[in-house]
Amino acid sequence: MAGSGFSARQQPLVVICGATASGKTALALEVARHFPIEIISADSRQVYRGMDIGTAKATQEERSRVAHHLIDVVNPDEEFTVARFVALGHQAAFTIADRTCLPVVVGGTGLYIKALTEGLVDAPGGDESVREHLVDQERLKGEGTLYRLLQEHDPEMAIRLSPNDRVRIVRALEVFHLTGRPLSELQSQHGFSDNPFRILKIGLNPDREVLYGRIDQRVNRMIHEGLVDEVKGLLSQGYGSNLKSMQAIGYREIIAYLQGRLSSEEAVGLIQRESRRYAKRQLTWFRRDPAIIWVDSLKEFGKIHELIECFYAAS
C-alpha cells in the first residue's frame, strides 16, 4: 500500500543513478535543498557497518542535512541479499511517503535498483551442493575457472560482472546448472509487473575522462582519509579477507598491501584501475534502461529541477 502522503495508486519514487564518482550524492543533496526528500541508498557495499571510507558513504554532516536509509544495515560478516534490499527499500519508501516526503533512491548498484523498482526475477533458490561443486572447480583448476565458465554459459552476465565477483559468478552458474538457462535470459524475460512505484529515473553521465579523473582523485582522497587504517581495524575485529564484503574494490587491494603482496603505489593504482573498470560496467548496465533521463552533471540542475518539480506536482 502506498504511503498516505501521496496517491494510493502508485508510490512516486525518484532514482538518481550512475557510475561511481559520477556525482550522485552531490546531486541528491542539491535536490534536497529544493524538495522535501529522504534518500534510500542503493549501494551494495554501503550496507556494511564500519566500511565507510572505502565505500564513499555520505558523511555524518551530509546525513544530518537529509535523512539516509539502508546505510549501515549489517556487519561485514553478515549476508545481505537483493531480496532483503527490496524488502527494506519498499518499507523505507512508504515510510518516507507517510512523512509527506519524496523518496529518492541514490546509488550505482544496478541490480538493486532494478529489483526495487521492477521486481525480483523468479530464479531457483540456492543449492549448497552445486555451489560447493563450483567452488571446488575453482580450487582444483585455478583462479579464473568460474569466470571462464560464465563467459561460456552466460556471456552477457560475464560482461556485467567483474572476474573478482565470485559470489555473483557462482550464483549465475548455479542458476544455469539448475535451470539450463542463463540468468541474464531469465532477467530479460521477467515481466517485472509487480511495480508499486511511479518512477522518475535520472542518470549521471559525465565525460569519460572527467569521470576517470574523479575516480583517481577519490581513491587518493580515501587513502589520505585513512582507508588503510579502516581496513586494519576491520581485520583486527576478526573480519576475514575472504568475506564477500572484504573482497570489495579498495578493501581487497589494501589487504594485499597489508599482507606484503602489493606495494602502496601498486595498491592505489590497482584500486583506481578496478574502479574505472567497475564504472564502465555500471554504465553498460544503466544504458540498457530506456527510462533513464541522462544528464551530464550538476551544471544541468535547471533541467533536473524542472523534471522533479513536474513529477512531484503530479503526485
Taking the domain 11-121+190-313, which CATH number applies? 3.40.50.300
Q: Report if pTM > 0.75.
A: yes
DSSP-assigned beta bridge partners for residue 18? 204
Taking the domain 128-189, which CATH number applies? 1.10.20.140
Q: Print pLDDT tens along the chain (315 aa).
A: 344 455 445 789 999 999 999 999 999 999 999 999 999 999 999 999 999 999 999 999 999 999 999 999 999 999 999 999 999 999 999 999 999 999 999 999 999 999 999 887 666 767 788 888 888 888 888 889 999 999 988 998 888 788 888 778 988 898 888 888 888 777 666 544 457 899 999 999 999 999 999 999 999 999 999 999 999 999 999 999 999 999 999 999 999 999 999 999 999 999 999 999 999 999 999 999 999 999 998 889 999 999 999 998 876
CATH 3.40.50.300 domain range(s) in the chain? 11-121+190-313
Dist CA 276 CA 283 (whole Å): 11
The DSSP H or E segment spanning 188 is helix 183-189
Contact status, residue 164 vs residue 124, Cβ threshold 8 Å: no
Interior/surface letters 60-89, b for 16+ CB within 10 angstroms, e for the rest: eebeeebebbbbbbebbeeebebeebbebb
CATH 1.10.20.140 domain range(s) in the chain? 128-189
